[in-house]
Structures are given as structure tokens and as C-alpha cells.
Structure 1
Amino acid sequence: MNSEIEALARRQSGMIARRQLTARGMGWNAVDRHIAAGRWKARSPRVISTFTGELTVDQQRWLGVLHAGPRSLVGGLTAGARHGLVGWERSTVTVVVDDELAFEPVPGIRFFRSRRPFDLLASPRAGVPSCHLEPALLLWAAYDAPLRPAHGVLAAAVQQHLTTADRLLEWIQVLKPLRRAPAFREMMRDVEGGVRSGAERDVLRMCRRYGVPEPDLQTPRLDADGRRRWTDCEWRLPDGTSLVLEVDGSFHMEAGQWAADLRRSRRLTVPGRLIVRATAFEVRHEPQEVARDLFTLGLLAHAA
């Protein structure tokens, strides 16, 4: 392996496309000899690795873009993770291409076709070619995601300080026509007001629909052990009591997380602070029931 190929392999985490080797003077027969000798391994009809072990996350991303060709970028939640988004990781790598039928499928790689200019989408960040964070998430939210995750991922990106509502609004304009754009613009107003999750946005929608006073979101509190926690939604009742609504998402169904959340609620409960819980499903699909319970606990008098 000559020095130019060695340098290329280092830049691409040990992954090389056959076309790249051919351009550097190594024909397919020479490549196949390395594979037969057990030094290299074919990862797809178009991509080989200069090692034979399991692929890392980064190498799996390189496999996707090298297989798809020069006009490809990691996108969707894969690009989100590469830009630092936490909590939305997926095992399947998403690669944005301009023609999804131009090459063979690869296990673990999902190809997403976009006709938008790749020069517009491409991030200048070094390493595996990737979309900018904002168009990657907006395209995923518009065309791949169910409605709740679509809103949740955009709120999460702002919450994690990876982007801003203003930047997302700019990209919504750049990407037009974009499916769900009006709903995304509306959501950005909530995000600017402090909404950090899809569940919080559903709470605000419930408040506006049923006349519930809008709560303070993510209020910092010290628990019984002196650790700082944040309550999801909090109201001050006329008698001075704090009414706290904690919204459990679907991930709370895991037993260990559920037990930890119950412990958290106990330790946040002190005289003058009343904590109640609801599921994200209830807040979204049965908001009238949640609103009625909140009124019963004192918010009706507070609203008046």
C-alpha cells in the first residue's frame, strides 16, 4: 500500500472506496489479493476496509457515504449525532443521496433521496461528509418522523445548545417547500419561550385550549439531598403552594428509569410543593382529563 493510499485510509478511518483505489493506481485484482490474504475486507461491493475487525460507528458512516458516492452526506439523526445531539441515536446510518436507485443496498445503511443542492446541505466540518445540523434534522422531521418525534428532535437540538430557534427558522425558509413548515414555525415560538420537549409543548397547547394558566417550565429546585433538579411544569397556587406536573415520556416505561423517577418525585416533595404526574400520552391525547385534574387541585381559582 503506497503512502497516498495509507494517508487516505487514515483520513477515512480505514475505509476506502474501490474507485478511490483505482484512481490511485491500484486495480481491482490487487485489491482482491489483499482481501484473499486476510489483510483487507470487502464491506460492500464498492467499499473495502484496510482491517478485518468490527466497524465502529464512524466507520459505519464512512461505509455509507463511500458506497453511495461523492455526492452523498450523512443526514437525519446520524448527522444529528455527529454534531453532538444526545438522546436521539439510532443504529441505522442515514445517508442523503441524489439518486437512491443508483447503487446496491447495504445492511445498516438507509439512503434518503434529496434533490436539494448538496453544496447547500454540506457541512464544512472535517471527517465523514455530513449535512449541516439544521437541514439534517428538518428534513428528517418533515419527511421521515412521526409528528411527536419531529417536534421533539427540533426542541432537543435547541435545548442542547446545538442550534437556535432563529437558525431553524432561517433553514425552514431556505428549504421551502418543506412539509410541516407552518407547524415547525409555530413550534419555534414555543421553543423561544423555553419549551424543551414535545411533552412541554403539548402542555402549553392544553393550557391554551382549556384555559389553564401557562406554567413555568424547567424550574430549578433542590431535592432532599441538596441536588439541583428541574421540574417539568410548575404553577403557584393562591395559597402559596407550588403545583408541579411531571410528564413521563415513553422511555419511563423501563423499570429502572421508572423507579428513579418515582424516587426523584419523592425527594422533590416538601411542604408547600404538590407533585402530580401524567404520561405524555395523556397530555397529548386526553388533555381535558389532565386539565380537569389540575383545576380540581386549585388552578381554577388561580385562573380566576
Structure 2
Amino acid sequence: MDDVLRALIGSQQGLVARRQLTRHGIGWEHVDHQVRTGRWAERTPRVVSTVTGELTRSQREWLAVLHAGERSMLGGLTAAGRQGLTGWDRDAVTVYVDDELSFEPVNGVRFFRSRRPFDLLRHPRPGIPVCRLEPAVLLFAAYQTTPRPAHGAIAAVVQQRLTTPERMVEWVDLLRPLRWAKPFKRTLSDIAGGAHSGAELDVRRMCRRYGLPLPTGQRARFDRAGKRRWTDCEWDLPDDLTLVLEVEGGFHLDVRAAMADHRRARRIITRHRVVVRCSAYEVRHEAAELAADLVALGLPGRVPHTAA
């Protein structure tokens, strides 16, 4: 094995495709001998490793792209994770390919064929071939069967400061035709306008649906103890009144945590500021009833017939 091939295998974390070995003058008989003697391990019919034992996550990703061919790249949440996205880990490795899937499947790898220009999608960074962050997330979102994980991933990649809403919107246009392009742009507009959580995005969708004004999100307030608090959603109403909606992320199993939330809410209430609370479940699944309650509190809008 020459130094060039040794360096190549090292850069691929011990994984190498048979085609790469052939280019360096190493035939299949030699490879099979190394496998039989236990020095190497056959990972797929197309890929072997010069290390034995269980592969790491990074090695599994190299295995996937080497098996799929030279034009392949990591895609979806796998590519996003490589570029810093956290909290969206998946066990399966996602790989984009641009040819017919005529090769053998690999356990734990999901292959997606795309006719989009791979030269546009591929990140120029050295190392493992990987899709650029923005198209990787948008293509993942476009293939979801329900909107929540789709919009959640788009929000997460911006909120973690890995990209910007403006950059994501540019890629929505570059990827045309893209499924759910218009809803994606609305979500990105909401994020640019200050929505910092999935619940806040849901509130804005509820407002559009029932003709309510869009709220101001994450407004800084000082409570009576002088501590800075950030409110979820606020509306400035006539007569110098402000309506505040605080969205709880889930059901409180800890009574002390619930009491602390209620205490914080009380301490930012004034004669001109009304604070009401709801759960994220209500925003997502009982939006009509919530909208009707907000209208009853003075928010202009159409009272849903189902909640009247």
C-alpha cells in the first residue's frame, strides 16, 4: 500500500471503496485475502475497512457515501448534524444520490435520489461529501408528511444561528419547485420577526387563520423585583392596555415548577398589562377556542363559529 492510498484511507477514517483500491493497483483477490485473514473487514459488497469492530457514527457516514458512489453526499438531518445542528439526531444515515438505486441496500442508511444539480447542493468543504446546510434542511422538511417536524427543523437551524432566515428564503427559491414553499417562507418571515419557539410560530399561524393581529414576541419586561423577563406574545390594545399570552411548553408534572411560572406571570401584571396562559397543546389542537378567548379579552378578530 503506497503512502497516497494510506493517507486516503486515513482521511476516510479507515473506510475505503473497492473502486478506490483498484485505482491504486490493489485487486479484489488481495482485498479478499485481507478480509479472510481478519486484517480488514468487508462492510458492504462495495466497501471494506482496515479496522475491525463496531463502527463509530462518523465511520458509518463514510461507509454510506462510499457505498453509494462518488457522486453521493450526506443529506437531510445527517448533513445538518455534520454542520452543527443539535437536537435533531436520527439513527439512520441519509445519503443523496443522483443515479438509479441499482446497488445493494445498507442497514441503517436511507438513500434518496434527487434530480437537482448536485454541484449546487454540495458543500465545498473538504472531507466527507455533504450537502449544504440550507438545502439539506429544506429537502428534509419538504419530504415530511406532517408540518410540525418540517417547520420545527427550519426554525431550529435558524434559532441555533447556523444560518439566517434570508439565506433560507434564498434557497427556497433556488430549490423550486419545492413542496410547501409558501408555508416555509411564512415560517421564516415569522422567525425573522421575532418568534423564538415552535409554540410562538403556532400562535402566529392561529392569528392568520382567524384574522387576529400578529403579536410581538420576546418582549423584555421587568417584574416588580426588578428582574428582566421575556414574554412569549404581546398585543398592544386600545386604552393603553397590553394583552400578554404565555405559552407553556407542556403539562406540568412538577407542582413547584408550575407555581414558579404562575408567580412570574403575576409579577409582570400591572393595571395596563393583562397576562393569560395556555398550553402548547391548546395552541396546536384547540386554536379556535383559544382565539375566541383572546377576542373576548379585547383582541380584534373573527370569533370562530366552533368556539362561539
Q: State the TM bucket, normalised to the shorter chain.
A: 0.7 to 0.9
1:125 Cα deviation (Å)?
1.4
1:259 Cα deviation (Å)?
7.7
Give deviations 1:259-296, integer Å, cap 9, x for gaps: 8964762563442344623124x313321112234455
For structure 1, list consecutive stretches of 5 or more residues without a partner in the other structure.
Answer: none
Structure 2 counterpart of 1:44: 44
For structure 2, list consecutive stretches of 5 or more residues without a partner in the other structure.
Answer: 270-274, 301-308
Structure 2 counterpart of 1:174: 174
How do 1:209-288 residues align onto structure 2 when only pairs under 5 Å count?
Answer: 209-219=209-219, 230-235=230-235, 243-248=244-249, 252=250, 262=258, 265=261, 268-273=264-269, 274=275, 276-280=277-281, 282-288=282-288
Structure 1 contact 195–217 (Cα < 8 Å) conserved: yes
Aligned amino acid, residue 245 of structure 1: E
Aligned amino acid, residue 118 of structure 1: F
| Cα RMSD for the two superposed structures | 3.2
1:120 Cα deviation (Å)?
0.9
How do 1:53-68 residues align onto structure 2 when only pairs under 5 Å count?
Answer: 53-68=53-68
Give the whole-Å Cα distance in 1 for the aligned partners of 2:11 and 2:38: 22
Give the whole-Å Cα distance in 1 for the aligned partners of 2:34 and 2:190: 56
Q: Does 1:22 align with 2:27?
A: no
How do 1:140-155 residues align onto structure 2 when only pairs under 5 Å count?
Answer: 140-155=140-155
1:39 Cα deviation (Å)?
2.2
The change in CA–CA distance for 1:268 and 1:31 in structure 2 (over 3 A counts) is: farther
Give the whole-Å Cα distance in 1 for the aligned partners of 2:225 and 2:41: 54
Structure 2 counterpart of 1:6: 6
Give deviations 1:11-47, integer Å, cap 9, x for gaps: 1111111111111111122122222222221111111
Give the whole-Å Cα distance in 2 for the aligned partners of 1:278 and 1:60: 40
TM-score of the superposition, structure 1-length normalised? 0.84
Aligned amino acid, residue 63 of structure 1: L
Aligned amino acid, residue 30 of structure 1: H
Q: Secondary structure at the match of 1:276?
A: strand
Structure 1 contact 73–97 (Cα < 8 Å) conserved: yes
Give the whole-Å Cα distance in 2 for the aligned partners of 1:214 and 1:108: 43
Give the whole-Å Cα distance in 2 for the aligned partners of 1:145 and 1:107: 23
1:4 Cα deviation (Å)?
2.1
Aligned amino acid, residue 138 of structure 1: L
The change in CA–CA distance for 1:239 and 1:120 in structure 2 (over 3 A counts) is: closer
1:76 Cα deviation (Å)?
0.6
1:236 Cα deviation (Å)?
6.5
Aligned residues: 296
The structure number with the bigger radius of gyration is 2
Structure 2 counterpart of 1:79: 79
Aligned amino acid, residue 264 of structure 2: L
Structure 1 counterpart of 2:159: 159
Q: Secondary structure at the match of 1:34?
A: helix
The change in CA–CA distance for 1:125 and 1:225 in structure 2 (over 3 A counts) is: farther
TM-score of the superposition, structure 2-length normalised? 0.83
